[in-house]
């Protein structure tokens, strides 16, 4: 396959360019369907005139269908897209990026999706799709899956699909609420994943940050204690990696704390821990839920984070504790490798 692609690059590079362009059109429609031509043109930065010809070609090949609500990928288009994925990973150099990330970060497995989630919000859905596929590959009957909150994990939940193999699986929030938008909270995301998959879920109805006295009082409650035990028993943990200042702002931290983060070059946050560029824990905020020190070898830990702006945060967290699986996007991977 590699040899054929190299030959095509030399003899017919324009054919590969057309193939990549049509693949990206199928990819975007598949993620956002139904979608109109004008919206698609704007999102992919392709003129409407050029796009009209491309989608007409794809429709004539039986890969797209047009409806009053917009364009859809047909069953034949779905089948072709799945067949193309492996080829496109080679063609776009994503396999090479994955291998280099594994070596550079020490992760067991790296999955790189095309695009930049900083520039295109739809790439987060592609991160979500890759995460769901990896989750379903690993999940076993009666597993408990702990899920963190955040916009990236909300995109993961959005891409969940029904699966009869997950009927006995239970989703739980990995932590309490951060006081952020309800759709980005771990409770909401775990419930949404369970609902779409046809699985079970349990909720943790407590705030994330608590005083020592309140914390001690809450964890003594039987209902809270039971759900915390369930969370600790999780065989799979899915989480995002945040930029330190962004996460501190979401938690309503003081100006003094924000200044310290900048002064000490603290760049990443995960599980309530704040890391500097070298991966040293500089601060830890008391949180209720899953702690980093409980992530032992019995748990499959999947980190999902994309966008070139997250590269420094991803690097810092991985310096502390490489995950079992890192799912990221093309631009974040390139930035990580150039740092």
Instruction: Please answer whether residues 243 and 250 qualify as being in contact, where contact means their C-beta atoms are separated by less than 8 angstroms.
Output: no
pLDDT tens digit sequence for 206-237: 765 666 666 667 666 777 788 888 999 999 99
In Å, the largest CA–CA distance within the chain is 71
DSSP assigned state of 115: S
pLDDT beyond 60 at 18: yes
In the chain, beta strands by DSSP E: 64-67, 70-73, 109-113, 144-147, 170-173, 200-201, 236-240, 242-243, 266-270, 273-276, 281-284, 300-304, 325-329
Q: For position 300, what pLDDT does the model report? A: 96
Report which secondary-structure segment, H or E, holds 248. helix 244-250
pLDDT beyond 80 at 308: yes
pLDDT tens digit sequence for 108-138: 999 999 888 988 888 899 999 999 999 999 9
Instruction: Please answer whether residues 206 and 114 qualify as being in contact, where contact means their C-beta atoms are separated by less than 8 angstroms.
Output: no
Query: Is residue 74 very low, low, confident or very high in pLDDT (cuts 50, 70, 90)?
Result: very high
pLDDT beyond 60 at 241: yes
Question: 180 or 26: whose pLDDT is higher?
Answer: 26
Query: What would the two tokens of residue 175 be?
Result: 């932590």
Q: For position 104, what pLDDT does the model report? A: 93
Query: Could you state, in order of their start, the residue ranges of all structural domains in the chain?
Result: 1-90, 93-338
pLDDT tens digit sequence for 164-201: 999 999 999 998 765 556 778 889 999 999 999 999 99
Q: What is the dihedral of CA 311, 316, 322, 326, to 10 degrees?
A: -20
Assign domain 1-90 one CATH number from 3.40.50.300, 1.10.1040.10, 2.60.40.420, 1.10.10.10: 1.10.10.10
Class of domain 93-338: alpha beta
pTM score, whole prediction: 0.86
Q: For position 221, what pLDDT does the model report? A: 74
Cα–Cα distance, 299 to 149 (Å, whole number)? 18
Range scoring the smallest mean pLDDT among 3-17, 102-116, 152-166, 213-227: 3-17
Range scoring the smallest mean pLDDT among 97-101, 178-182, 324-328: 178-182
């Amino acid at each position: 396959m590699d040899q054929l692609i190299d030959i095509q690059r030399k003899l017919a590079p324009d054919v590969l360019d057309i193939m990549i362009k049509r693949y990206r059109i199928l990819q975007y429609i598949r993620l956002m369907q139904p979608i109109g031509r004008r919206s698609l043109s704007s999102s992919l930065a392709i003129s409407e005139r050029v796009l009209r010809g491309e989608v007409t070609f794809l429709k004539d090949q039986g890969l797209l269908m047009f409806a009053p609500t917009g364009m859809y990928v047909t069953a034949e288009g779905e089948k072709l897209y799945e067949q193309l994925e492996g080829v496109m990973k080679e063609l776009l150099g994503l396999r090479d990026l994955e291998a280099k990330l594994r070596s550079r970060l020490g992760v067991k497995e790296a999955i790189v999706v095309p695009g930049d989630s900083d520039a295109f919000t739809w790439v987060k859905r592609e991160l979500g799709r890759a995460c769901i596929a990896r989750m379903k590959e690993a999940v076993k009957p009666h597993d408990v899956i702990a899920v963190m909150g955040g916009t990236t994990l909300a995109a993961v939940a959005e891409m969940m699909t029904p699966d009869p193999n997950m009927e006995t699986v239970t989703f739980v929030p990995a932590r309490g609420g951060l006081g952020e938008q309800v759709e980005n909270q771990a409770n909401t995301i775990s419930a949404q994943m369970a609902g779409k998959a046809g699985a079970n879920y349990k909720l943790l109805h407590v705030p994330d940050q608590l005083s020592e006295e309140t914390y001690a009082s809450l964890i003594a409650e039987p209902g809270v204690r039971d759900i915390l035990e369930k969370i600790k028993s999780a065989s799979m943990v899915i989480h995002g990696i945040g930029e330190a200042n962004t996460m501190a702002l979401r938690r309503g931290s003081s100006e003094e704390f924000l200044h310290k983060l900048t002064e000490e070059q603290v760049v990443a946050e995960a599980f309530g821990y704040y890391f500097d560029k070298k991966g040293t824990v500089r601060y830890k905020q008391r949180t209720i839920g899953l702690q980093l020190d409980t992530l032992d070898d019995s748990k499959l830990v999947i980190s999902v984070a994309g966008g070139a702006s997250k590269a420094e945060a991803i690097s810092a967290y991985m310096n502390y504790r490489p995950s079992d699986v890192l799912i990221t996007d093309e631009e974040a991977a390139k930035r990580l490798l150039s740092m």
